[in-house]
Amino acid sequence: MKKRQLGKSGLEVSALGLGCMGLNYAYGQPMDKKDAIALLRAAVEKGVTFFDTAEVYGPYTNEEIVGEALAPLRDQVVIATKFGFNIQDGKMSGVNSRPAHIREAVEGSLKRLNIETIDLLYQHRVDPNVPIEDVAGTVKDLISEGKVKHFGLSEAGAQTIRKAHAVQPVTALQSEYSLWTRNVEENIIPTLEELGIGLVPFSPLGRGFLTGKMNAGAKFDSHDFRANNPRFEPEALKANQALIALLDKFAAEKGTTTAQIALGWLLAQKPWIVPIPGTTKLNRLEENIGSTKVELTADELAQINESTSKIQITGDRYTEAQRKMVDL
């Protein structure tokens, strides 16, 4: 697989990473641990070098799976994880980026991942009660101590990015970005380009919707957070099929899948964008990797942009409580 650099940081990763959250968290019943480990190792064999996890996924167990799976392959991979939440009684409980808590989280992640240094450490969500300069300063100290290599932010706004970057250069911003979630285009992407920061889109396939395999009658497991997500209510799923019909048309003309068009479009936006689609299935992993070979011409990209601009996406991407934790 081709490699990309996240901004001007020098951090080189595969053009497509793997979001690991869904292996055992948020998307229904967890995978068997052995199967999850086998999938992660298969991803490395197929050229994926960039793996994304977080302490809150599980909590904690996702990092343990990633750590065990990638331990024999450590010199071949880049591992990203995140801090920024309180975890009480096995559940996420509000944001917390106090310096002491960051250090505590990092020590836990290092142990669970079985690594000496975290390649890329993100603040999972901006904490309005802690100045971002204090957060960046703490990570800067952790970098000088050799416990972290690169600093990242997630779902942070332009001003927050600038303030953090002035203290400790930000390597990457992780935020939702796809053909049905494009709010980063107005202010965030220009800011990243100016500062030389990479963008790591999570949910680049719209939490599965942009694969084209989900209709208005889709049902979700009680452990699946989409069951309570406004954009996955039946009315929204039905209304948003217009976007799938359009992508299906482009896929048929291109001889690819709908998911590959969605990922190919993202990869074509900027050379420093590295999507991290997640999956629990080997065939989907292979399909997603195939998107790195999809070449969309300038005319095709213009057609996609023009056509999708006429489609109104129905449903908020987050619940009201989740929206409050987004700094965009």
pLDDT at 328 over 80: no
Sequence-ordered list of residues with C-beta below 8 angstroms from that of 140, at least 6 positions apart, any chain: 151, 167, 168
**pLDDT, tens digit, 9 for 90 and up, residues 7-18:** 999 999 999 999
pLDDT at 71 over 80: yes
Q: State both tokens at 25.
A: 């968290």
Q: Is the pTM of this model over 0.75?
A: yes
Q: State both tokens at 309.
A: 């601009």
Catalytic residue among 57, 122, 177, 318: 57
Mean pLDDT for the chain overall: 97
For residue 122, indicate whether it is catalytic: no
Contact 143, 174 (CB under 8 A): no
The per-residue pLDDT for 114 is 97
**pLDDT, tens digit, 9 for 90 and up, residues 263-292:** 999 999 999 999 999 999 999 999 999 999
Nearest to 174 by CA among 192, 147, 196: 192
Nearest to 305 by CA among 233, 234, 250, 223: 250
Domains of the chain are 3-210+263-294 (3.20.20.100)
The per-residue pLDDT for 323 is 86
